[in-house]
């Protein structure tokens, strides 16, 4: 029996990016689900090795039926101990499924911002040789609280709860570790009007574009560590 990773997309602009590349490079089968186009979730059975949830511009608090159905699917998957991985909106969905709340972040956070690791065994387990601090890419206006029994992994100056883990196989992130050069270039070109000026927590188009390739390379190192740790929990 071939087991696969199910990747839930929430809008056309939020592609899986590097997580899809990472999985395919390891010959792990990936299936994309576009629930926003009416595509139903699969059965939570033994054909699923793990679930990945991407970002989106909507909120988990918007009462969108297909998004609420995905959150219920996460709850079901958790009872079956299926590995879960969430990016931005996807991380917020996991947080809500485990009893967390989603609320406005004190500041909109966009661009390359430093993150600091927690000084504990969980952060060492998931981040390994990643330096402290390290640079991450961000684009969000909401944040999640930490669900019961979760462990915070790292924070930024503008957002305390950047990533948490639950148990051995659940990783939820507020940030965008999945960015590739083409994906990020597409984002900043598409939403360039929102990036006209620098502020304390929002970088301009020019600032994001500066040292672009170097930052993507650094991000790739972090992604390899986090994704590698998550993939190690898959039963393939």
| Cα distances (Å, whole numbers) of residue 163 to 90, 138, 150, 174 | 11, 12, 10, 6
pLDDT of residue 44: 87
H/E element, 18: helix 18-25
Helix (H) or strand (E) run with residue 4 in it = strand 4-9
The pLDDT assigned to 194 comes to 86
Domain count, the chain: 1
What is the value of pTM for the model shown? 0.97
The rounded mean pLDDT for the chain is 96
**What span, in angstroms and rounded, lies between the C-alpha atoms of 47 and 55?**
24
> Among 166, 44, 158, 51, which Cα is nearest to 100's?
166
State pLDDT tens for residues 179-231: 999 999 999 999 998 899 999 999 999 999 999 999 999 999 999 999 999 99
- How many C-alpha atoms does 37 have within 13 Å on its Cβ side? 8
Mean pLDDT in order along the chain per 10 residues (236 residues): 92 94 97 94 91 97 96 97 98 98 97 98 98 97 98 98 98 98 96 92 96 97 98 92
pLDDT the model gives residue 13 = 87
CB 51 within 8 A of CB 8: yes
Give domain status of residue 60, yes or no.
yes
- Residue 137: which H helix or E strand, with range? strand 134-144
- What's the CATH number where 118 sits? 3.40.50.880
What is the four-CA torsion angle of 40, 41, 43, 44, rounded to 10 degrees? -170
Would residue 236 count as lying in a domain? no
Q: Is residue 18 part of a domain?
A: yes
Bond prior to 214 in cis (omega within 30° of 0) = no
Instruction: Supply the pLDDT for residue 1.
Output: 66
State the maximum Cα–Cα separation within the chain, in Å, rounded to a whole number. 52
**CA–CA separation, 156 vs 138, rounded Å?**
10
Domain of 164 in residue numbering reads as: 4-231
pLDDT at 181: 96
Is residue 224 assigned to a domain? yes
């Amino acid at each position: 029996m071939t087991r696969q990773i199910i990747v839930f997309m929430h809008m056309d602009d939020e592609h899986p990016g590097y997580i899809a590349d990472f999985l395919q490079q390891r010959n792990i089968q990936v299936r994309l689900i576009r629930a926003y186009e009416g595509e139903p979730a699969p059965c939570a059975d033994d054909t699923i090795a793990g679930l990945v949830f991407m970002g989106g511009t909507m909120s988990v608090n918007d009462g969108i039926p297909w998004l609420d159905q995905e959150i219920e699917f996460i709850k079901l998957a958790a009872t079956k101990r299926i590995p879960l991985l969430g990016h931005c909106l996807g991380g917020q969905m996991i947080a809500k499924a485990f009893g967390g709340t989603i609320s406005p972040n004190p500041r909109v956070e966009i661009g390359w911002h430093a993150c600091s690791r927690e000084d504990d065994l969980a952060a060492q387990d998931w981040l390994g040789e990643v330096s402290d601090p390290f640079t991450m890419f961000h684009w969000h206006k909401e944040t999640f609280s930490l669900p019961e029994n979760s462990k915070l992994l790292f924070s930024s100056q503008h957002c305390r709860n950047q990533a948490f883990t639950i148990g051995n196989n659940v990783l939820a992130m507020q940030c965008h570790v999945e960015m590739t050069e083409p994906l990020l270039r597409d984002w900043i070109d598409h939403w360039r009007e929102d990036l006209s000026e620098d502020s304390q927590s929002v970088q301009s188009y020019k600032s994001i574009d500066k040292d672009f390739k170097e930052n993507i390379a650094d991000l790739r190192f972090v992604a390899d560590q986090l994704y590698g740790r998550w993939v190690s929990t898959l039963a393939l």
